[in-house]
Amino acid sequence: MLLNKIPQRTYEKVKYKCDCCGDIREVSYGNFKQQEKLHPGIHRCVNCSRSIQCTRMTRSGENHGRWNPDKGKFKEYANQVRYLTEKNYNKYKEMINPNNLPRMPNGTINGYQLDHIISVKKGFEDNISPAVIASPSNLQMLPWHINRQKWS
């Protein structure tokens, strides 16, 4: 039976071959879909899911599609930018936020966020000093929803 022909809520059983041990297993369609959401294209039985040896088969580290060898360097850079940004915001608040707009988390009505005009990511990629990215001239207040649109 084709998986896309099975109704969404059903107790229909699905057979699959475990990618680790090779055993043929049978689970409910709901459990199969849940595992497919968590680990697309990887099918493991319960025993192998708990096994350290088979866990290594999953895409991780350099084998992962979104692997970034500079992740540690970027985190260090971003942390330095955040530290300097807060320092500059507190020192130059009247210049950066002259209307004293409220800084709020996402989803807050009438909330604003401190935005980097040249993004932290762009600064890292272009090897721009954290001090430049965190400088008052690169900071602005934006409504949270406009700031989040820049991420898409």
Range of the domain at 12: 3-63
58: pLDDT confidence band, cut at 50, 70 and 90?
Answer: low
Within this chain, do residues 78 and 134 fall inside the same structural domain, yes or no?
Answer: yes
Within this chain, do residues 75 and 144 fall inside the same structural domain, yes or no?
Answer: yes
pLDDT for position 45: 78
Is 141 strand, coil or helix?
A: strand
7, two tokens: 């109704």
48, two tokens: 């192998």
Q: What pTM does this model have?
A: 0.56
Cα(50)–Cα(69) distance, rounded to whole angstroms? 28
Average pLDDT over residues 96-109: 90
Query: Which parts of the chain fold into alpha helices (H)?
Result: 29-38, 46-49, 52-55, 71-91, 93-96, 120-125, 130-133, 144-149
Within this chain, do residues 49 and 93 fall inside the same structural domain, yes or no?
Answer: no
Q: Cβ neighbours of residue 128 under 8 Å, at least 6 residues apart? A: 118, 122
Within this chain, do residues 113 and 80 fall inside the same structural domain, yes or no?
Answer: yes
73, two tokens: 């360097």
Number of structural domains in the chain: 2
Which tens digits make up the pLDDT trace of 75-100?
Answer: 999 999 999 999 999 999 999 999 99
Domain end point (choices 39, 63, 87): 63
Domain end point (choices 14, 39, 63): 63
